[in-house]
C-alpha cells in the first residue's frame, strides 16, 4: 500500500491498458524485494540488493539469505513459484477482481488480495502442514495422532481441496522435488501422506481427501532453507503475478462486481407496526 501511495498509482478506471500493465509489472517486481528486505530488517539484518546475473528465484533466495543459493534449491523454489502463480477464482484472486471492478488502483487490488491470502485456510497452510509433521515426529505416532484429530473433527492441514477430488497435480510435482533432495523429513512426509490418506478413506469414506499443494510445498521450502514465517510471503511472491493478470483482465470490463443476496433471517412482525 505504501508503494502504491509513494508511486502515485492512479485508478485503473482512469488508465489505458498500457499504463495498467506498467503499474502491474512494477508491483510484481517490487514485491519479492520488499518481502525479503522486510524479513531481514525484522531479523536485525541489512537488506540485500538484487543481482542482475541471478534468476528470479535465485535472487529471491539471495536477497533473503545474503548468500548465493545452490542451483538445485533455486530451481526447486522456481518450480514451486511457477506452480502457484495462478489457480482459478480462489479467495484472494476473486477479492482482487472485485476491487479491480470498482476501478481502484493496482496497489489497492493487490492489498485486498493479500488480506484474503493472510487467512490460514488460504495461504497460511504450508507452515501449518509442516507443523503437523513436527508434531507427529516419528512413523509410529502417525496413526494414533491422526485418528485422534480426525475423530475430534479437526482438519488435517495439507489434505483436501475445495476443487480437486483427486490428487492435486501440484502436490505430485512437489513430492518428486522433495524426493530428489531426500532425507528424514521427506521420508516422514511420504509415510504420513500414505497413512493419512488411508485413515481418511476409512473414517471419511467417499470424501477423496488427498494431499494438496501446501503439504509438500512446506517440505520443499524447508529443504531450500526458507524460514517458516516466509512460506506464505513466498506464495505471495508467486501469486502476485497471477493476481495482476486477473486485475488487468477485470479492468477491461467497466461493470462493477456486485453479488446479490437473499435475506433468510427472521420474518418481520405481523402486522407491521404503523409509522409514527
The stretch 121-138 carries a mean pLDDT of: 78
Pair (133, 31) in one structural domain: no
114 with 244, same domain?
A: yes
The answer to the question of residue 245 being in a domain is yes
C-alpha cell at 14: 482512469
Q: What is the pLDDT of residue 48?
A: 97
Q: Is 222 part of the annotated catalytic residue set?
A: no
pLDDT of residue 6: 94
Kindly state the helix (H) or strand (E) to which residue 56 belongs, with its residue range: helix 56-65
Task: Give the pLDDT confidence score for residue 162 in this predicted structure.
Answer: 54
Instruction: Answer yes or no: are the C-beta atoms of 4 and 30 closer than 8 Å.
Output: no
What confidence score (pLDDT) does residue 208 get?
Answer: 66
Kindly state the cell numbers that stand for 94.
476473486
Active-site choice (161, 193, 210, 222): 161
Whether residues 165 and 88 share a domain: the answer is: no
Are 151 and 114 found together in one domain? no
d(CA 211, CA 192): 10
Pairwise CA distance, residues 190 & 188, whole Å: 6
Q: What is the pLDDT of residue 49?
A: 95
Can you give the pLDDT at residue 14?
A: 96
Question: What is the count of structural domains for the chain?
Answer: 2
Picking from 150, 148, 197, 141, the residue whose alpha carbon sits closest to that of residue 171 is 197
- pLDDT tens-digit series, residues 163-191: 555 677 787 888 888 999 999 998 998 88
Q: Is 214 a catalytic residue?
A: yes
Q: How far is CA 16 from the centre of its chain?
A: 30
Could you say which of 193, 210, 214, 222 is catalytic?
214
Within-domain flag for 271 = no
Do residue 103 and residue 174 come from a single domain?
A: no
Judge if 23 and 60 occupy the same domain. Answer: yes
Interval 215-219 mean pLDDT: 86
Which domain, by its residues, includes 149? 125-223
- CA 88 – CA 170 distance, rounded (Å): 14
Q: Is residue 262 domain-resident?
A: no
* Residue 273 CA: distances (Å) to CA of 212, 263, 265, 268, 270: 54, 20, 18, 10, 8
For residues 8 and 103, membership in a common domain is answered with: yes
8 Å CB contact between 199 and 210: no
Instruction: Work out the average pLDDT over 140-165.
Output: 76
CB 14 within 8 A of CB 102: no
Amino acid at each position: 500500500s505504501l508503494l502504491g501511495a509513494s508511486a502515485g498509482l492512479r485508478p485503473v478506471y482512469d488508465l489505458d491498458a498500457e499504463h495498467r500493465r506498467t503499474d502491474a509489472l512494477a508491483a510484481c517486481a517490487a514485491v519479492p524485494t520488499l518481502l525479503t528486505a522486510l524479513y531481514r530488517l525484522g531479523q536485525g539484518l541489512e537488506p540485500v540488493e538484487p543481482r542482475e546475473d541471478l534468476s528470479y528465484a535465485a535472487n529471491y533466495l539471495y536477497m533473503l539469505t545474503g548468500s548465493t543459493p545452490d542451483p538445485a534449491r533455486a530451481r526447486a523454489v522456481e518450480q514451486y513459484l511457477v506452480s502457484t502463480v495462478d489457480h482459478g477464482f480462489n479467495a484472494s484472486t476473486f477479492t482482487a477482481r472485485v476491487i479491480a471492478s470498482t476501478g481502484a488502483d493496482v496497489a489497492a487490488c493487490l492489498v485486498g488480495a493479500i488480506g484474503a491470502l493472510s487467512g490460514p485456510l488460504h495461504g497460511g497452510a504450508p507452515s501449518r502442514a509442516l507443523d503437523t509433521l513436527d508434531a507427529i515426529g516419528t512413523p509410529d505416532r502417525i496413526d494414533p495422532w491422526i485418528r485422534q484429530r480426525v475423530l475430534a473433527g479437526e482438519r488435517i492441514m495439507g489434505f483436501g481441496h475445495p476443487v480437486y477430488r483427486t490428487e492435486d497435480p501440484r502436490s505430485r510435482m512437489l513430492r518428486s522435488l522433495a524426493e530428489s533432495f531426500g532425507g528424514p523429513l521427506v521420508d516422514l512426509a511420504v509415510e504420513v501422506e500414505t497413512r493419512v490418506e488411508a485413515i481418511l478413506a476409512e473414517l471419511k469414506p467417499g470424501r477423496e481427501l488427498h494431499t494438496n499443494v501446501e503439504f509438500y510445498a512446506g517440505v520443499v521450502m524447508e529443504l531450500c532453507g526458507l524460514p517458516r514465517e516466509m512460506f506464505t510471503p513466498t506464495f505471495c511472491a508467486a501469486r502476485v503475478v497471477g493476481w495482476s493478470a486477473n486485475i488487468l483482465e477485470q479492468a477491461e470490463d467497466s461493470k462493477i462486481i456486485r453479488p446479490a443476496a437473499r435475506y433468510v433471517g427472521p420474518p418481520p412482525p405481523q402486522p407491521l407496526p404503523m409509522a409514527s
